[in-house]
């Protein structure tokens, strides 16, 4: 099963963006010297899989953004994603490290009594743990049925296909172009990749709505489209704008008395604004 992809320079960029010193990151993963972080960033060595969740958390980046996985989880992957070394996971649930090791290597399946405790420790459903175990034994176990891709992913994929019909550029290239148009670093290559893979924007930007909004503005500017096309909360933004207009012109947005709909006064304001927008500037 493929491990999570590790990109040392990307980790360095994320660390600097988060203003985290190498010694802080080293301490967080239990290392005595910051040189281990320098070694990771230059890809002379790579961190153990169970350290990746800590690294992502300290840097404030979703693990699926910073360390994307190409494939489905087996038992070792679930353990690493939960942040446990093999011996620590075995100790936590009171099972044999040897038995866990053999299951991860696809040599002997877990005892039935271990399934529930391990699933709880890893934060997954027992069925997910059993599916991961089958993959450890080389069985083909498909993922659950995919959900609908987020609107932002759908729009970005369409825009990339329209602009680059022959050869799609790398996420880093797209991010560099977006940042060039924006005149500032508004999005990273790993974030572009995560969005294109279908990761929800809230996870890509770690819940930071300002960073998300700035990135969407930058993407819209680069592709030459309205921000609303790339905003999966477009309806909420439009309603917020309407509330602002209603407040500015001191009218009610909605009718009173439970009738529902937009108030006549608000309709008049919007009609006037639209007429002014559509008016021919050459008319007297």
Segment 147-161 mean pLDDT = 88
| CA 127/CA 107 separation, integer angstroms | 20
Q: Which H or E run includes 193?
A: helix 189-197
Both structure tokens of 19? 């203003």
Residue 241 has pLDDT above 80, yes or no: no
Cα dihedral sign for 153, 154, 155, 158?
Answer: positive
Residue 1 has pLDDT above 50, yes or no: no
Strand partners, 4: 69
pLDDT of residue 234: 58
Phi-psi map region of 206: left, alpha, beta (phi>0 left; psi -120 to 50 alpha): left
Residue-wise pLDDT tens digits, 23-65:
999 999 999 999 999 999 999 999 999 999 999 999 999 999 9
pLDDT band at 146 (very low <50, low <70, confident <90, very high): low
Does the predicted model carry a pTM greater than 0.75?
no
Q: Provide the Cα torsion 106, 112, 114, 116; round to 10°.
A: 120
Q: Determine how many CB atoms are found less than 10 A away from the CB of residue 153.
A: 20
| CA 25/CA 59 separation, integer angstroms | 8
Percent over 90 (pLDDT), the chain: 59
Q: Which domains does the chain have, with CATH numbers?
A: 8-66 (1.10.260.40), 75-136 (1.10.260.40), 151-232 (no CATH), 235-278 (no CATH)
237 close to 209: Cβ distance less than 8 angstroms: no
| CA 215/CA 258 separation, integer angstroms | 39
Residue 106 has pLDDT above 90, yes or no: yes
Residue-wise pLDDT tens digits, 188-222:
999 999 999 888 888 898 878 888 889 989 999 99
Both structure tokens of 193? 């990749």
Both structure tokens of 47? 């961190």
Residue 168 has pLDDT above 70, yes or no: yes
| CA 256/CA 253 separation, integer angstroms | 9
Both structure tokens of 131? 């599916």
State CA 92 to chain mean position distance. 29
Based on its alpha-carbon atoms, the radius of gyration of the chain, rounded to whole angstroms, reads 25
């Amino acid at each position: 099963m493929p491990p999570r992809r590790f990109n040392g320079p990307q980790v360095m960029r994320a660390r600097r963006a988060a203003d985290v010193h190498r010694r802080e990151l080293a301490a967080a993963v239990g290392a005595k010297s910051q040189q281990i972080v320098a070694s990771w960033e230059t890809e002379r060595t790579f961190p153990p899989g169970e350290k990746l969740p800590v690294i992502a958390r300290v840097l404030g980046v979703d693990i699926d953004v910073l360390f994307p996985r190409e494939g489905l989880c087996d038992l070792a992957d679930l353990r690493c994603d939960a942040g446990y070394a093999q011996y620590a996971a075995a100790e936590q649930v009171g099972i044999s490290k040897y038995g866990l090791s053999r299951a991860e290597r696809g040599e002997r399946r877990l005892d039935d009594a271990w399934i529930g405790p391990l699933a709880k420790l890893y934060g997954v459903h027992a069925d997910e743990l059993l599916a991961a175990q089958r993959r450890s034994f080389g069985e083909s176990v498909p993922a659950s049925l995919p959900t609908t891709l987020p609107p932002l992913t759908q729009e970005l994929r369409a825009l990339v296909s329209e602009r680059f019909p022959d050869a799609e550029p790398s996420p880093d290239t797209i991010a560099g172009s977006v940042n060039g148009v924006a005149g500032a670093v508004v999005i990273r290559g790993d974030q572009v990749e995560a969005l294109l893979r279908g990761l929800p924007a809230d996870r890509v930007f770690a819940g930071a709505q300002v960073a998300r909004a700035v990135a969407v503005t930058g993407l819209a500017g680069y592709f030459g489209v309205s921000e609303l096309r790339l905003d999966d909360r477009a309806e909420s933004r439009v309603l917020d704008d309407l509330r602002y207009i209603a407040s500015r012109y001191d009218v009610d947005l909605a009718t009173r008395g439970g009738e529902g709909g937009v108030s006549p006064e608000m309709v008049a304001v919007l009609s006037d604004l639209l007429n002014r927008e559509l008016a021919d500037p050459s008319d007297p």
